[in-house]
Amino acid sequence: MQQDAAPKVSFVSLGCPKALVDSERIITRLRAEGYELARKHDGADLVIVNTCGFLDSAKKESLDAIGEALAENGKVIVTGCMGAEPEQIEAAHPGVLSISGPQQYETVLEAVHRALPPVHNPHLDLVPPQGIKLTPRHYAYLKISEGCNNRCTFCIIPKLRGDLVSRPANDVLREAERLVGAGVKELLVISQDTSAYGVDLKYATSLWKDREVRARFLDIARELGELGAWVRLQYVYPYPRVDDVISLMAEGKVLPYLDIPFQHASPEVLKAMKRPAAQEKTLERIRRWRDECPDLTLRSTFIVGFPGETESDFAYLLDWLEEAEIDRVGCFKYEPVAGAASNAFANPVPDEVKQERYNALMARQQRISARRLKRKVGTRQQVIIDEVGPTVTKGRSKADAPEIDGVVYLASRRPVRVGEIVTAKIERADEYDLHGTVAGF
């Protein structure tokens, strides 16, 4: 029977949801060819490490993961963002079998075939119709484009991933429909710059069902909204075209949730960062969005301590946050990334000042978030169930993206299932999470 044993691959996926989508694609292909996933490196025939190269700390994490895989297994294939600059990997770990950049699925598969030829076994070649997903079955990331046309001065993603390349609308919709057909209840739409979707295709149409659909942010959001799943839009920039999507949110077609990485509010810092749509009057726009769609939840990330950020720039950011009432915030202390233009900027901010600003921003945000969440006490919210344990049931409302936002802790008299969407009565709120009871199914 030994010759029938399926070759086993251990997989490490580092980095952002976009990298996770790449990992899912590679794993889907491997499973389709009869490979199995191993839980541990030492029980596997080889290891694939999908790396992240965004920040120096992420590169270090990637190099550590490769080192660990080499020590525990010995056969290691490296792919992902850091693979776009192979010299550092080669220098640290000359023993790896192959190095490839992001989306180079074929290179990864060729390297696997060389090191560990597939065993043909029709019983192992089956792959579920939705592909193998690393995320739980009830939600899935849907990548609509690759690369980025912006040139933010702190970022090297365009260097690593190139300019924007959008998928045709019907290709995206086919994948989305397949995912929903396979039980996915929530689609998380991702890309480096979701609102720029289709710019490279000049918004070309493609045939979907009986109609032509434009590769354009509004059109794809509208079509995805017809599939019967929750649709959550992530990594959107505040271009004027975003205004149109707010009406889809008000109509309940897509979730009233926008993840906009503002990164700062001070016009000087935004200019130095070369942020897209920085000149748009965002506070005014946010006010209008909330007038049209009062349930809108805004999530954002900010960088403190960017070179040249003054005390008054930072005070401006805190005031802006207060006024914008951003519901959910992630904050990073500026970190130079090898190859980024901002490394050479004058007036770097000392580490202790970065830390102070980080603490001040997080404290301010905690109060804003608590205030926003308190308003939900006494309301009924739809909640998608993520986890059912012996004592705790956890889910997320429409305002919470998985992994990055808060959760809703639930009590229920009847058993609930993972992936189910229930109605909950919200009874209590703390700084980041809600607590309630299941009130309907």
Does residue 259 bind ligand SF4 (CB under 6 A)?
no
Which span (30-38, 149-157, 343-351, 366-374) binds ligand SF4, by CB under 6 A? 149-157
Closer residue to ligand SF4 (CB): 100 or 145: 145
When asked if residue 162 is in the footprint of ligand SF4 (CB under 6 A), the reply is no
Distance of closest approach, residue 215 Cβ to ligand SF4, in angstroms = 19
102 touches ligand SF4 (CB under 6 A):
no
Q: Which of 44, 77, 148, 340 binds ligand SF4 (CB under 6 A)?
A: 148
CA distances from 267 to 305, 312, 346, 363, 378 (A): 15, 11, 17, 23, 39
Left if phi > 0, otherwise alpha if psi is -120 to 50, otherwise beta: which for 280? beta
Stretch that binds ligand SF4, among 45-53, 143-151, 248-256, 282-290 (CB under 6 A): 143-151
Question: What is the footprint of ligand SF4 within residues 188-227 (CB under 6 A)?
Answer: 192-193
> Cβ 158 to ligand SF4, closest distance in Å?
5
Residue 426 CA to residue 440 CA, distance in Å, equals 12
Which residue among 30, 111, 152, 221 contacts ligand SF4 (CB under 6 A)?
A: 152
Distance between CA atoms of residues 27 and 10, nearest Å: 10
- Cα 76 to Cα 69: distance, rounded to the nearest angstrom: 7
CA distance 61 to 259: 26
Phi then psi for residue 369, to 5 deg, are: -60, -45
CB of 136 to ligand SF4, least distance (A): 27
- If one asks whether residue 84 binds ligand SF4 (CB under 6 A), the answer comes out as no
Binding of residue 146 to ligand SF4 (CB under 6 A): no
Q: Residue 276 or 419: which CB sits closer to ligand SF4? A: 276
Among 77, 89, 140, 157, binds ligand SF4 (CB under 6 A): 157
Is the CB of 20 or the CB of 46 nearer to ligand SF4? Answer: 20
Least distance to ligand SF4 from the beta carbon of 275, Å? 7
Burial 397-419 (b: 16+ CB within 10 A, else e): bbbbbbeebbbbbbebeeebeeb
- Bridge partners of 189, per DSSP, are 142, 233
In 3D space, the residue among 191, 102, 189 whose CA is nearest the CA of residue 142 turns out to be 189
The interface region with ligand SF4, picked from 84-92, 151-159, 242-250, 296-304 by CB under 6 A, is 151-159
Secondary structure of residue 71 in the 3-state scheme: helix
CB of 56 to ligand SF4, least distance (A): 16
Relative to beta strand 46-51, strand 76-80 is parallel
Q: Is residue 276 close enough to count as binding ligand SF4 by CB under 6 A?
A: yes
Whole-Å CA distances, 197 to 155, 204, 233, 260, 417: 19, 11, 12, 15, 35
Tell me how far apart the alpha carbons of residues 246 and 239 are, in angstroms, rounded to a whole number: 12
**Footprint on this chain of ligand SF4 (rule: CB under 6 A):** 148, 150-152, 155, 157-158, 192-193, 276
